[in-house]
Structures are given as structure tokens and as C-alpha cells.
Amino acid sequence: MKKVLIGLASIAIALTLAACGNKTVATTSGGKITQDEYYSSLKDTSSGKQVLQEMIVNKVLEKQYGDKVSKKTVTKQYNSYKDQYGSSFKSVLSSNGMTASSLRTQIRSNLLLKEAVKDLDKISNADLKKEWENYQPKVTVAQILVSKKDTADKVIDELKDGKDFSDLAKKYSTDSSSKNNGGKIAAFDDTNTTLDSDFKKAAFKLDEGKYTTTPVKTEYGYQVIKMLKKPAKGKMSDHTKDLKERIWTDDMSSSTKLRSVITKVLKKGNVTIKDNDLKNVLDDYLGSSSSSK
């Protein structure tokens, strides 16, 4: 959610800028401040220029890709954040200066940008082959987490004696979220960022039905892992869609890739800057070609 929250302050300012005029923003004993005065002051700041950049980019993205992002898709992602944070959702929004509405707006902006990335960042066969080298279909494992290596060794000895992994998880594991389910955790692949890297490395080496014969030291303690389900990797051609999605997801975290995509979007956007004081606002993307026409 943190990535989605980036730019919130800019969105709030953008909403203010969108309605500039002679309307009074504030009154003081020394006189009033109008929207025009506020705008004139704000446009000279780096944050004000960033807001205009974002507003322009969002406008052209909406024009070019708006029909590809449905309200249903936005709501689905919004609800996933809501479910993730549960009862603390409102406080998380508040602490980041957001409202439910502004979160939906930011989600839509991100989804529009993702559509632009998918459209404009062409993926070569060499790109697919490189991604394929690290590709690992989702596996399902069970794990027993303990605090001491001696305890983990004891668990492994009992497994070698034929004891049931599920029973041992209920007996020894300190992971309350999985122990009563026989240690089983949600399926994951190599793109997972929530699990310990040493845990994933050890898990991926296991064949289906096998368990680690030495304790795996992780940031949480010592873990014994059993592979429950490990789909065959298969052929690269069977996973082209997944591989492309993985590459596009990585691109969304690359400032270089995003800059390239936004530049292409803006060049197709027929943007004209009417305020001479802001004529260079898109130079970061278009160079001197962003000046007013």
C-alpha cells in the first residue's frame, strides 16, 4: 500500500489547483488570499510543478487507456487493501493523509500507468528467456518454526523416525498462524517478498514430499520445511503470459522504464502549456519540446 500512497500530497494540491480563480481561499487581518494568488505562488515551487506534471500525465493516460481500466478493477484492488489492514484501514489512510476517495484515485492512476507500460514497453524473446531463468511456479509447503536449533534437530529426528509432519507442527511450531493447519502456508513463487530469502531458497530445492534434513536459520528462528506441492516448471512457451506480467510488474518499480513510457505517452498526448511561466514543466520527459506552442 505504501507505493500507492506516494503522491498523495500532490493529489490534494492538484484538486485545489484545478479550480483556480478569484475565489477567496483565506481571509486574514492583513487582507484576503485568492485562488489566483495562491496559484501564482504555488506554480513557482517544485511541488507545484510536480502537481502539474502529474495532472497532465493522468489526463493523457485517461484519454489513451481509460477504457482498459474498469471501476470493478479499481474496486477489487481497493478492497484488497481494505481487507489487508482490516480494522486499522481508516487509521492507515488518515496517517497518510488519504481518504477512501483519494486512494481510489491513486489506484486508478497506477492501473492506467500499468496499461501504458504493457502497451509501450515491448518485451523481446531475450527478455522472456532471462525472466525464465528465475521463474518458479507457485509451490505449497508446510513449516515448523522453533526458536532453538536443538528443537529443530529434534523435530527432524522425529520425522526420520516416521512421525507425521502435521502432528509435529501442532506440537512444536511457534507460528500460531499455521501450526493448527499442519504448518501449511499460502502458496508462493520466487517473486514473493514477504518470506525470508533463505526460507525460499531451501524450499525450492526440495522435491515434492521431502523435508529439510537440517534446520533452516531465518530471521524468525529455525524452520523445518516440507514440500507439499511443486508443479513442474514445464516449457517457457507455456508461461509466456505469466512471464510478461512479471516483467511489467518489475518495470512499474523502475524509474528508468517509467520515464521512458511516460515520455511516449506525453508525445502522443498533444500537450500544450499555456502558462509561459510553466512552459518547461515537462522538460524532464520531453526536453525543450515541452515549451508552449
**Is-contact 201 221, C-beta < 8 A?**
no
Say if 128 falls within a structural domain: no
pLDDT, average across residues 275-288: 87
Say if 160 falls within a structural domain: yes
Determine the pLDDT at residue 14. 44
Determine the pLDDT at residue 20. 53
Q: Which amino acid is at 124?
A: S
Say if 245 falls within a structural domain: no
Say if 244 falls within a structural domain: no
- The model's confidence at residue 7, banded by pLDDT at 50, 70 and 90, is very low
Of 83-92, 207-216, 282-291, the least confident: 282-291
Question: Read out DSSP for 158-227?
Answer: HHHTT--HHHHHHHH---TTTGGGTTB---B-TT--SS-HHHHHHHHHPPTT-B-SS-EEETTEEEEEEE
If one compares 10 and 197, the residue with the highest pLDDT of the two is: 197
Task: Provide the residue range defining the domain that includes 283.
Answer: 2-120+254-290
107 and 159 inside one domain = no
Average pLDDT, the chain: 89
- Any idea which residue has 481509460 for its cell? 66
- The model's confidence at residue 256, banded by pLDDT at 50, 70 and 90, is very high
208 and 184 inside one domain = yes
CATH of the domain at 225: 3.10.50.40
32 and 65 inside one domain = yes
Instruction: Among 195, 214, 229, identify where a domain stops.
Output: 229
Determine the pLDDT at residue 4. 43
pLDDT, average across residues 235-252: 92
225 and 280 inside one domain = no
pLDDT, average across residues 134-155: 95
- The model's confidence at residue 19, banded by pLDDT at 50, 70 and 90, is very low
Determine the pLDDT at residue 38. 87
6 and 115 inside one domain = yes
Q: Write b or e for each residue in 14-35: b if 16 or more Cβ atoms lie within 10 A of its Cβ, otherwise e.
A: beebeebeeeeeeeeeeeeebb
193 and 276 inside one domain = no
Burial of 285: CB neighbours in 10 Å, binned 0-12, 13-18, 19+ = buried
- Tell me: the pLDDT tens digits for 160-214? 999 999 999 999 999 998 999 999 999 999 888 889 999 999 999 999 999 999 9
Determine the pLDDT at residue 286. 87
Cα separations in angstroms, 56 against 52, 241, 261, 263, 273: 6, 31, 14, 12, 10
pLDDT, average across residues 32-40: 88
- The model's confidence at residue 22, banded by pLDDT at 50, 70 and 90, is confident
Domain count, the chain: 2
End-to-end CA distance of the chain: 39
Residues of the chain above pLDDT 90, percent: 67
40 and 87 inside one domain = yes
Kindly give the residue spans of alpha helices, DSSP state H, lying in the chain. Answer: 2-5, 8-17, 35-42, 46-65, 71-85, 89-95, 100-120, 125-134, 149-160, 165-172, 197-205, 240-251, 255-267, 283-286
6 and 99 inside one domain = yes
184 and 223 inside one domain = yes
Burial of 273: CB neighbours in 10 Å, binned 0-12, 13-18, 19+ = middle
**Is-contact 121 248, C-beta < 8 A?**
yes
Determine the pLDDT at residue 289. 52
151 and 73 inside one domain = no
19 and 110 inside one domain = yes
Determine the pLDDT at residue 2. 45
